[in-house]
Structure 1
Amino acid sequence: MASVSIAHSGGLEALLASLGPADTLNAFAQRHLSPIDTYDRQRGTALMTTLEAFLDAGASLEATASRLGTHRNTVRYRLRCIAGLIDRDIHDPRVALELHLALRIRQSRPPASLDAAP
């Protein structure tokens, strides 16, 4: 119960901050997201945007497609690309949670601090 009250009283950012030092959290985010970042940067794609929309939509293909203004088959293709890049099943709830946390860590930190992560 204590962890629930922490999350509600201070928000996700407060909970994340209590998990460890910033460099540890940044390394976690980098480890989970760097293959997608690299792919997007090298190919001019937006797989990270698709991943975030998918996770924010509760893993719904239809809701993700609607948010992105694209067809659900396009979303399905992009998700297969993401899964291949990270070599994990993004439909697995534990994997989805890790990825969602990594995205939230990234959003809660200044961009320069992420570049310093190994």
Structure 2
Amino acid sequence: MSDKTKFELEFPVKASPSMLFPYLSTPSGLSEWFSDDVNSRGEKYTFIWEGEERDAFRIARKKDQFIRFRWEEDEDEGNKYFFEFRIEVDELTNDTSLIIVDYSEEDEIEEDKLLWDSQVHQLLHTIGS
């Protein structure tokens, strides 16, 4: 398996961390923008897109700050590959940003960035940001 490349995307969000975090960390919140449906049992989250299921495990979380998942198929790599939703607040302006961290095969990065862009715009629309 070839190495994946890490990338980050940043999106300004007109919402407080406490309002935004449930959309990033709960099955009901994630199903409003990230996938068609989400089920969770403990650390395991099952994301459903058009009837296809994909499992991920929550590997780290800090309320109102970040949540990190690892796809089940990346399990053999330890926690080397993950995707993360991180909320950052600028201390001077108090502006909130959502940072997406993900890993992709080199030839899929641009496509994955476009997909994240589309999904985050759905999130922003959902929360009225």
When the two structures are superposed, what TM-score results if normalisation uses the length of structure 2? 0.26
Compare the two structures and name the one with the higher helix fraction.
Answer: 1
Report the structure, 1 or 2, having the larger strand content: 2
